[in-house]
Copies of this chain bind each other. A is one copy, B any other.
Amino acid sequence: MKQKAVFYHAGCPVCVSAEQSVLAALDRNRFDVEVVHLGTTKRRVSEAEKLGIKSVPALALDGQVFHINFGADLSALK
């Protein structure tokens, strides 16, 4: 069974860079990848908060959160 990778972003330049490099580098044979734009999908901000996400871009690998550089604070997306 594949592991789950969820990439949370807000369309910011830092987010796009992380998506194009880090997310694109993941092994798709082992990970199902979902991309969530929190700026346009605000109902998922609370999900991100529960995971422990403080800023975007962030990558959740099987629920474990990794903040990648800094684009925007989650509070700015509410």
Chain A contact residues, CB within 8 Å of chain B: 3, 5, 17-18, 21-22, 25-31, 59, 61-62, 64-70
Contact yes or no, A69 B66, CB < 8 A: yes
Q: How many angstroms from the CA of A17 to the CA of B29 in the assembled complex? A: 21
Q: How many angstroms from the CA of A64 to the CA of B17 in the assembled complex? A: 9
Contact yes or no, B66 A18, CB < 8 A: yes
* Residue from B22, B25, B31, B62 in contact with A30 in the complex, judged by beta carbons closer than 8 Å: B25
Kindly name the residue among A17, A21, A26, A30 whose own CB sees the greatest number of chain B CB atoms within 10 A. A21
Q: How many angstroms from the CA of A76 to the CA of B44 in the assembled complex? A: 37
Residues of B within 8 A of A64 (CB): 17, 21
